[in-house]
Structure 1
Amino acid sequence: MIELHELTKRYGDTLAVDRLSFQVPQGVVTGFLGPNGAGKSTTMRMILDLDRPTSGSVTIDGKRYGRLSEPLKYIGALLEAKAVHPGRTAYDHLLWLAQSNRIPRSRVDELLDLVGLTSVARKRSRGFSLGMGQRLGIASALLGDPEIVMFDEPVNGLDPEGILWIRNLMKRLAAEGRTVFVSSHLMSEMALTADHLVVIGRGRLLADLSMPEFIRQNSRTAVRLRTPQPERLLDALDSAGIRVEGGPEGSYEVVDGDLAKLGELAAANGVVLHELSPQQASLEEAFMQMTADSVQYHAGGGTPLPPGAAPGNPPGTAPGAPGAWGAGWQAGKAGPGGPPRTGTGAPNAKPEEEN
């Protein structure tokens, strides 16, 4: 388990992470979301001891990362796909990581096969595409067969088959009882992968909820009705004291309506319905609603907002850390972890085809 307690990080006058406290549970995929500059990368770097907190603490199974013996067997991480020495082959990169944590050499071949890089195992990483580099980073993160895995933008550069593979892999790892912590800006992908969400904005915790509860709390629900008898429908709704709004393409919507009761009302009044369906916001819409006051960079100018400029931002609060913090040479410092204990096939797509 990863546990953060009052974690704070300052860079001079900039408050990047502000008294952040949460736990990453086992057995589910936890999504880590936030606008650019929210402090996600800084938080993940502090988890791996790549940055030292100004105050507060973060522990992995009760210990700081720096106190873990053979850390790749505890936590595997992918923060930067290209954090590989360009002169090393894929095989040698994984081999030195394995030897640094007393991991058998045989694991290297297993991981190369798992991520689909066996055919390019002896090629130097400087010639790898973004997708190939991403696969190598995933292999590094799984090398020590850890109980905790942490990914930052894991689908970046992967082709559709690779995206499906890593999505299913994360779900399988969670199903085995492992801790899976993943950050991504792709809301559609996160909606398909994550069970639980931790959302931050300007370094502060905004939400720590299950996926369904997060969407429910940050969006409206409605029942959509479509009929060839609009006047009869509107009369029936009005008689029942039900407020209705116009929907798309001639439909009507009842906010927070009861699907069954509306269907029964239509039937009782002889209203023919062509559509009776529940409507709920997407994760992206709920996320935009939740973080509207925490966005640091806006389209149109790209200029950071001054402290206190965004609505709801307490006066004097510094904006979040710059969004361009690199992960550094995570493979050597942050360390990866190992393949799932149950069989997980590697994608069939050729790595060379990914861009």
Structure 2
Amino acid sequence: MIELEGLTKRYGEKLAVDHLTFTVRPGIVTGFLGPNGAGKSTTMRMMLDLDNPTSGSVRIDGRHYRSLRDPLKVVGALLEAKAWHGGRSAHNHLLCLAQSNGIPRTRVREVLDTVGLTSVAKKRTKGFSLGMGQRLGIAAALLGDPEILMFDEPVNGLDPEGIHWIRNLMKNLAAQGRTVFVSSHLMSEMALTAEHLVVIGQGRLLADTSMAAFIAENSRSYVRMRSPDHERLRDVLSGAGITARPASDGSLEVDDEDAPHLGELAARHRITLHELSPQRASLEEAFMQLTAESVEYHAHDGRPPEEVPPGAPAAPPGGRPGWGADWRKKGA
């Protein structure tokens, strides 16, 4: 279990992490989300005592990380790919870690096999691709067979097979009762992996809830209905006290009703339906909705200056609105 209480980090005038309090529990995969610059990496570094907090605390199973006698046997972490000596082989890199942490050398072969690097175990790591580096970093995290695992962008550089593998690995580790904490910008993958979410923005906690509750609370769900007898369907719904919103594609969108009830209503009135489909927002849509006010910098979509919507702020001296990164800082 990882417990954060009032965790705060300042770099001069910059408040990177702002009184974060949450708990990462065992038995489930907990996703850690936030826009760029939200403070995720800084938070994870403080969890491992790589950065000292300005105030607040982090406890790993009730203790500070620095007080752990055999840290690799308690916490395994992947924070940065290629954090090793390029002249060493993958096997020797892991062997050095094992010997310095009292881990049997047989464990080296086991984790190399787990991550699929057995065939390149004797090759120097300086020639490793990004994906191979990720696999070696994951092997190092698994080396001590720890109960707590932390991964920062674990799918970075992996091919589809590798992404599928790491997804199942994290789920299996959690199913064994371990604490699994993973940060990623790949929303589609996080939606398939995490059961619980911690979301931060500008260093502050925005959400600490289940995946299902997060999507439900930060997005709109509705039922889409399509019929060749569009007007009659709308009248029937209205007569039943149900508000149907017309969509641009000719369908009707109904909030706060379930699809079976709507289908039965149409059937009773002998109305043919070409579509009756519940629509639920994706994790990405819910995340964008919640964090919209926490994004520090915005980019434009590349439209020429004359296509910028009327009323948009004028560009700064020498700048051109509509091109490149937005010069306007949020809240400025």
- What are the residue-to-residue correspondences of 1:45-64 with 2, within 5 Å? 45-64=45-64
Verify the 8 A CA contact 1:220 1:256 in the aligned structure 2.
no
Counterpart CA distance in 2 for 1:292 and 1:239 is 38
CA contact (8 A) 2:296 2:330 kept: no
Return the letter of the residue paired with 1:128: F
Using the TM superposition, give the Cα deviation of residue 231 of structure 1 relative to its aligned residue in structure 2, in angstroms.
Answer: 1.9
Aligned to 1:31: 31
Q: CA deviation at 1:247?
A: 3.2
- Alpha-carbon distance in structure 1 between the residues aligned to 2:259 and 2:182: 35
What TM-score, normalized by structure 2, do the two folds share?
Answer: 0.91
Q: Which residue does the alignment assign to 2:303?
A: none
Q: What code does the residue aligned with 1:150 have?
A: M
Q: Which residue of 2 aligns with 1:82?
A: 82
Q: Which residue does 2:2 correspond to in 1?
A: 2
The structural deviation recorded for 1:46 is 0.2
Partners of 1:303 and 1:102 lie apart in 2 by 51
Deviations 1:183-239 (A, max 9, x none): 000000000000000000000000000000000000011011111221220110121
| Cα separation, 1, equivalents of 2:72 and 2:248 | 52
Partner of 2:127: 127
Could you list the per-position Cα deviations for residues 85-139 of structure 1 after superposition, in whole angstroms to 9, with x for gaps in the alignment?
1111101110011011100000001111111111111111110000100000000
Give the match for residue 221 of structure 1.
221
Which position in structure 2 is the counterpart of 1:345?
Answer: none
Shift of 1:307: 7.0
Which structure carries more relative contact order (alpha carbon 8 Å, separation 6+)? Answer: 1
Gaps of 5+ in 1: 310-355
The structure number with the bigger radius of gyration is 2
Q: How does 1:167-186 map to 2 (within 5 A)?
A: 167-186=167-186
Structure 1 match to 2:189? 189
| Alignment correspondent of 1:324 | none
8 Å contact kept, 1:8–1:56: yes
Separation (CA, whole Å) in 2 of partners of 1:307 and 1:98: 46
Over aligned residue pairs, what C-alpha RMSD do you find? 1.3
For residues 261 and 132 of structure 1, what CA distance do their matches in structure 2 show?
51
Question: Secondary structure in 2 aligned to 1:16?
Answer: strand
* 2:287 equivalent to 1:269: no
Range moving further from structure 2, 236-245 or 280-289: 236-245
Aligned to 2:149: 149
CA distance in 2, matches of 1:247, 1:86: 57
1:259 is displaced (CA, Å) by: 2.0
4+ long deviations beyond 3 Å: 300-309
Structure 1 residues 274 and 3, CA, compared in 2 at 3 Å: closer, same or farther? same
Deviation at 1:248, TM superposition (A): 5.8
Q: 1:207 to 1:302 in 2, by over 3 A?
A: same
Q: Deviations over 1:335-355 (max 9, x none)?
A: xxxxxxxxxxxxxxxxxxxxx
Show structure 2 runs of 5+ residues with no match. 301-323
